[in-house]
Amino acid sequence: MSHQPKIKIITYITLIIASFFTITAVNAAGIKNNHQELTINVDARGCVSSVELASPDDNCDGSEFANNCGKNGKDCVCMQSSKFVSWMIDADTRFELKFIGDIPFKSNCEVKSGNNKKIQCKIDAPDGDYEYDVIAESCPDEVYDPRIIIRNSN
């Protein structure tokens, strides 16, 4: 028996194994499928100074957005549909979320805190970047502009 067929079989098996590891690495680089919690920080003037990830699980970690979103980035969270995102304010003031363009939530999501210190909404949107403003009642003329990145497939 010739060595040619054995070499071809070994080459094919090597390619299949390498392809498997490449596909696994690509899937692992996607956005995690967890709920996310954000903290709205307010400065001494009563204005929003930042929106930070409060959850220990960073959905952006390991994704292509890891360097500019989530715990390593600024005022951004990575999400997938059917997961909840919640905002909690660290001051004694009401707040609201105003989306610029489409709203990535089910229609029954209340984006004004009222007497609560927390807003929680379920993501129900296609892939996209959703920009919004956070407005504290104690500082209505100054808005803060974070974003939500939604990617539904790894």
Which pLDDT score, from 0 to 100, does residue 5 have? 60
Residue 106's pLDDT band, with cuts at 50, 70 and 90, is: confident
Which pLDDT score, from 0 to 100, does residue 27 have? 36
Backbone angles phi, psi at 116, to 5 degrees: -90, 160
d(CA 51, CA 47): 12
Q: Which residues 6+ apart lie within 8 Å of 89 measured at CB?
A: 39, 40, 42, 95, 113, 117, 118, 136
CA contacts within 13 A on the Cβ side of 121: 21
Which pLDDT score, from 0 to 100, does residue 2 have? 58
d(CA 48, CA 133): 10
Which pLDDT score, from 0 to 100, does residue 74 have? 83
The full set of domain ranges for the chain reads 31-150
Backbone angles phi, psi at 76, to 5 degrees: -145, 150
pLDDT, tens digit, 9 for 90 and up, residues 16-60: 444 433 333 333 348 999 999 999 999 999 999 999 999 899 999
Superfamily of domain 31-150: Cupredoxins -  blue copper proteins (2.60.40.420)
Ranking 3-7, 85-89, 95-99, 134-138 by mean pLDDT, the lowest is: 3-7
**Nearest Cα to Cα of residue 131 among 106, 102, 110:** 102
Which pLDDT score, from 0 to 100, does residue 30 have? 86
